[in-house]
Amino acid sequence: MTELHRRYDVTITVDRNGDDHPNPAEFATAAKHAASARTASIVSAHTASQIVSIVTVLAADQPAAVAVALAVVSDALKRPVASSTR
């Protein structure tokens, strides 16, 4: 039997300790690429102390959706964004 996929909205909050996190524009670009690679979408808000992301995923169950959401945010945090200038 084929499992039906449901839409899950997973909220991920990351503390911004120090200067090791990308600025909001860099994060948005990296997050967009990371999400599209996993057929997901992401919306994020940045505060002085946190990055709050809502990742929307189609998945068979909640654990699968959470795994995808964590992977999207993790990739966005570590992916260097290519400069648009030369």
Domain limits, the chain: 1-17+40-80
- Whole-prediction pTM value? 0.83
Nearest to 68 by CA among 1, 10, 21: 10
- Position 59 scores a pLDDT of 96
Residue 78 has pLDDT above 90, yes or no: no
Dist CA 57 CA 16 (whole Å)? 24
Name the β-bridge partners of 55. Answer: 10, 42
Residue 22 has pLDDT above 90, yes or no: no
Write out pLDDT tens, residues 40-73: 999 999 998 899 999 999 999 999 999 999 999 9
